[in-house]
Amino acid sequence: MNVFETAMQATSTVLASRFPGYSFAFASGSIIRGEGTKGSDIDLVVVFNRLETAWREAFIEGDLPFEVFVQDPETLSWFFESDIGRGYPLIIHMVATSQIWGPDPGKGQIWKEYAASVLRAGPPELTGEKLNTLKYQITDLLDDLNGERAGSELRAITAQLYQPLADLMLLGRGTWSGKGKWIPRLLRELEQSLADRFDDAFRQAALGKVEDLRNLTLAELNKHSGPFFAGDKRMASEQARRPSLVDMAAL
């Protein structure tokens, strides 16, 4: 059997042996898309009619690693809304690009079509507090890049800058963002020259040459009215309270 056939057989075994009574499931990932390499895992979203709580688990079946997200329609809706709000359509992408399994494939097809429509619609507009929070984080890191820094400190700062700068570039252009390996992929899909500039800036920064990264970061901030630091204010949740850990009467 080839890799795809092995993955299909393993998925069938996993669903039958580990998740009896499920309604439908979505198998996704590079192997399912026919792009898998050695070490690629299978993303599996398993949906029951009703659960006490959703969960995630990882395991090996045969030689294949599985990451499984076990849901019911209400918990899946919550994770969809969370993905949309954050701008990272992680589970939405799994569902939209999946193969459907299970005794209720019609229900799965409805979810798959909905997930595809969410991806096509794009993320919510990057405005207001979400934009300002992102700009503040990036501005703070840009200020850190401007001083004289040891190489180890520069590497730490640039590593921390990678995700928020990518978010600003992607979400700020009305495109979904992502995590890890998805960032360069999404930037290439958006605009190859922009992806090249981003990649080269971080490659040079890894060598201690941060001028290109400073310029790129400032240019992206300037697309959204420039750096933002003074005026940043975020309120803690009303639930952010615990009984005092210190006996104040003893002080």
Spell out the alpha helix ranges (H) of 147-181: 151-171
When mean pLDDT is compared across 44-48, 60-64, 176-180, 194-198, the lowest value belongs to: 60-64
Identify the pLDDT of residue 74. Answer: 98
Range 208-225 average pLDDT: 96
Q: How many CB atoms lie within 10 A of CB 22?
A: 20
Task: Using alpha carbons, list the distances in angstroms from residue 237 to 149, 234, 240, 241.
Answer: 35, 10, 5, 9
- The whole-model pTM stands at 0.90
Q: What is the spatial distance between Cα 89 and Cα 195, in angstroms, rounded to a whole number?
A: 20
Pairing label, strands 99-101, 42-47:
unpaired
- Phi, psi angle pair for 137, to nearest 5°: -60, -45
- Where do the domains of the chain lie, and which CATH numbers do they carry? 3-121 (3.30.460.10), 128-222 (no CATH)
Identify the pLDDT of residue 211. Answer: 96
Look at the block and give the residue holding tokens 């630091």.
229
- Phi, psi angle pair for 176, to nearest 5°: -60, 145
SS3 state of residue 150: coil
Identify the pLDDT of residue 244. Answer: 83
